[in-house]
């Protein structure tokens, strides 16, 4: 029942996000004649392992290593930038996305949707691991899962990311807050 509620929240957020992305893409679109994407933010020296942690979690999930992905999610430094691989559409800001040609926007949107679907599934698994810890009576461990989920959501909902990624981040925050609130009851 709780999982269905979380899925419902994510589905509603995803639908809203897609609609917002379509509206935003159509309203402020700036076609570039070269069709090349804008320059990505450079990764600061010494931050490769911190930035890789978020990508490692996502990659583990996509490769079917669910337990490893959840573990890597908890280990991720959600304050590090960039969080994802340099070529990931998850790293695009809204302005960078709008600066793409229509064809590149379409291609990036497709890839972005796939990666966000994996992120949402991973977030649901993290929330479930937290609920499982609560069931076992280990609220301290549960809070770690929910805190990590909230940190991820906070990171993704920042202005460094596209509107679609920001909406997913906000959904992660709501999910984490709802799960944490249940522990306090």
pLDDT digits (tens, 9 = 90+) for 170-183: 999 999 999 999 99
Total-model pTM: 0.74
The phi and psi torsions of 39 (rounded to 5 degrees) equal -65, 135
Domain ranges (residues) in the chain:
44-183
Instruction: Report which of 15, 13, 39, 23 is spatially closest to residue 96, judged by C-alpha positions.
Output: 39
CA distance 97 to 112: 11
- State the pLDDT at residue 51: 45
Phi-psi region of 35 (alpha: psi -120 to 50; beta: other; left: phi over 0): left
Instruction: Report which of 148, 164, 165, 147 is spatially closest to residue 156, judged by C-alpha positions.
Output: 165
- State the pLDDT at residue 12: 46
Q: Read off the pLDDT of residues 106-131 as tens digits, 9 standing for 90 and up.
A: 999 999 999 999 999 999 999 999 99
Confidence of residue 52 (pLDDT cuts 50, 70, 90): low
Instruction: Report which of 100, 98, 99 is spatially closest to residue 25, judged by C-alpha positions.
Output: 98
Q: Read off the pLDDT of residues 71-94 as tens digits, 9 standing for 90 and up.
A: 999 999 999 888 998 889 999 999
Tokens of 106: 């379409």
Question: Is residue 174 packed enough to be buried (19+ CB in 10 Å), middle (13-18) or exposed (0-12)?
Answer: middle
* Most distant CA atoms of the chain, gap in Å: 59
Place of tokens 């990036």: 108
Q: If DSSP codes are grouped into helix, strand and coil, which group holds residue 37?
A: coil
């Amino acid at each position: 029942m709780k999982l269905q509620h979380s899925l419902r929240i994510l589905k509603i957020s995803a639908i809203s996000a897609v609609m917002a992305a379509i509206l935003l893409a159509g309203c402020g679109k700036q076609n570039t004649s070269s069709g090349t994407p804008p320059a990505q933010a450079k990764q600061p020296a010494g931050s490769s392992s911190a930035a890789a942690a978020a990508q490692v979690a996502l990659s583990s999930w996509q490769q079917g290593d669910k337990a490893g992905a959840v573990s890597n999610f908890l280990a991720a430094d959600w304050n590090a930038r960039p969080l994802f691989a340099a070529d990931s559409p998850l790293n695009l800001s809204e302005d960078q996305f709008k600066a793409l040609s229509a064809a590149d926007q379409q291609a990036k949107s497709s890839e972005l949707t796939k990666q966000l679907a994996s992120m949402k599934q991973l977030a649901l698994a993290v929330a479930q691991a937290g609920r499982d810890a609560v069931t076992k009576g280990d609220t301290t461990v549960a809070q770690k899962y929910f805190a990590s989920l909230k940190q991820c959501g906070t990171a993704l909902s920042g202005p460094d990311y596209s509107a679609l990624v920001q909406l997913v981040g906000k959904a992660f925050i709501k999910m984490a807050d709802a799960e944490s609130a249940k522990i306090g009851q």
